[in-house]
């Protein structure tokens, strides 16, 4: 610790620059990561919303409807399926038109069609499900909003790909900038490194102070980034609550574990903090490792 502090004190501007670059990268990555996690989970949530509604003819027996329902459930493409009988449809109708007695008088349960509301596991399955339903007998109408689903599919794919490219760019850029900053720092000690090589120092011995200093800067920048991020989240929490009103839970799939990210919770914050620390440590140590390589060839 003493050696790290001495090194920072002896080259304060280079250390500060390296720290600021690390902080900028980590803070941006953190904000990007959390935003994308939220966006992805909202998209996943929305992906489950589009549905196919199939209206059967009024004379269709329930056994026929249940057969279709069971086949759909066994297809592996359906997340959820809801059968609405004639009576249930009538109840819904009555509820919707309770203030209009004239409309209620005109309609009875017999003329309302039974239906199935089908929620697909992925929007991509919806056209297949619609096609399957159209081929069945006793079907009055199949409704699904093809344009909206297609747009949603394009949007989710575009966001995922763009974020991946942007994230990769950010990592590569920050490592390159950091390598340059550390190279500046090491260049001041080029003759020392050459001397150490000539008196029998191992590569590890030479690298160690640069890597430990970078690790220190990386971890400090991670903690600071997370601290500011946490304060921002606390500040914007009321806005998030009103914006995400109606969504009870948002989660992301992490190695088959459903990590709940909304409502905000300690597990999510802990995972974000640890990930930031690891990311900061990896970037800092990788950059200093690569930077020192150049001077280890004596």
Which spans of this chain sit near other proteins (rule: CB under 8 A)? 10, 191-192, 195-202, 205, 298
Instruction: Please tell me the distance from the alpha carbon of residue 178 to that of residue 183, in angstroms, as a whole number.
Output: 8
- Rounded least distance, CB 200 to other proteins, Å: 4
Which of 5/205 has CB closer to other proteins? 205
Residue with Cβ nearer other proteins (5 or 66): 5
User: Rounded to the nearest whole angstrom, what is the least distance from the CB of residue 209 to other proteins in the complex?
Assistant: 11
Round to whole Å and give the CA distance between 114 and 54.
9
Q: Which long-range contacts (CB under 8 A, 24 or more apart) does 231-236 make?
A: 233/264
Q: What tokens were used for 234?
A: 């606390």
- How many Cβ atoms are within 10 Å of 273's Cβ, its own excluded? 18
CB nearer other proteins, residue 86 or residue 189: 189
Beta carbon of residue 183, minimum distance to other proteins (angstroms, whole number): 18
* C-alpha dist (Å) from residue 83 to 62, 77, 140, 181, 248: 10, 17, 15, 64, 24
CB of 184 to other proteins, least distance (A): 16
Least distance CB 194 / other proteins (angstroms): 8
Please say whether the beta carbons of 97 and 104 come within 8 A: yes
Q: Cis omega before residue 263 (within 30°)?
A: yes
The residue count of the chain comes to: 298
- Using CA atoms, how far apart are residues 177 and 14, in angstroms rounded to an integer? 12
DSSP state of 113: P
Q: Would you call 154 exposed, middle or buried from its count of C-beta atoms within 10 A (0-12, 13-18, 19+)?
A: exposed
Residue 199 Cβ vs other proteins, minimum distance, rounded to whole Å? 6
Question: CB of residue 202 vs other proteins: minimum separation in angstroms?
Answer: 6
Q: Between residues 205 and 243, which has the closer beta carbon with respect to other proteins?
A: 205
Is the Cβ of residue 137 or residue 200 nearer to other proteins in the bound state? 200
How does strand 139-143 pair with strand 257-262? unpaired
By C-beta, is 102 or 198 nearer to other proteins?
Answer: 198
CA 71/CA 131 separation, integer angstroms: 14
Q: How far is the CB of 21 from other proteins (least distance, A)?
A: 23
- Name 115's bridge partners: 55, 84
Residue nearer to other proteins on the CB measure, 46 or 201: 201
Looking at beta carbons only, is 6 or 265 nearer to other proteins? 6
Question: What are phi and psi for residue 157, nearest 5 degrees?
Answer: -65, -40
d(CA 174, CA 171): 5
């Amino acid at each position: 610790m003493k050696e790290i502090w001495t090194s920072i004190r002896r080259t304060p501007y280079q250390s500060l620059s390296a720290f600021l670059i690390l902080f900028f990268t980590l803070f941006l990555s953190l904000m990007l990561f959390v935003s994308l996690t939220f966006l992805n989970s909202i998209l996943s949530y929305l992906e489950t919303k589009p549905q196919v509604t199939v209206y059967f003819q009024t004379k269709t027996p329930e056994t026929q409807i249940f057969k279709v329902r069971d086949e759909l459930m066994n297809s592996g493409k359906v997340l959820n399926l809801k059968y609405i009988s004639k009576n249930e449809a009538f109840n819904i109708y009555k509820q919707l038109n309770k203030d209009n007695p004239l409309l209620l008088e005109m309609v009875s349960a017999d003329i309302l069609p039974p239906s199935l509301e089908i929620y697909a596991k992925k929007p991509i399955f919806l056209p297949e499900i619609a096609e399957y339903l159209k081929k069945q007998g006793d079907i009055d109408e199949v409704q699904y909003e093809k344009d909206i689903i297609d747009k949603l599919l394009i949007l989710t794919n575009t966001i995922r790909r763009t974020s991946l490219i942007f994230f990769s760019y950010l990592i590569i850029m920050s490592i390159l900038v950091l390598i340059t900053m550390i190279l500046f720092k090491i260049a001041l000690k080029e003759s020392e490194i050459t001397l150490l090589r000539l008196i029998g120092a191992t590569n590890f011995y030479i690298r160690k102070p640069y890597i430990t200093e970078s690790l220190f800067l990386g971890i400090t920048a991670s903690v600071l980034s997370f601290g500011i991020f946490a304060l921002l989240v606390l500040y914007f929490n009321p806005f998030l609550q009103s914006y995400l009103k109606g969504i009870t839970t948002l989660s992301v799939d992490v190695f088959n574990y459903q990590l709940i990210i909304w409502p905000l919770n300690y597990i999510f914050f802990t995972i974000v903090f640890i990930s930031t620390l690891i990311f900061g440590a990896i970037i800092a140590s990788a950059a200093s490792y690569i930077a020192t390589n150049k001077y280890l060839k004596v």
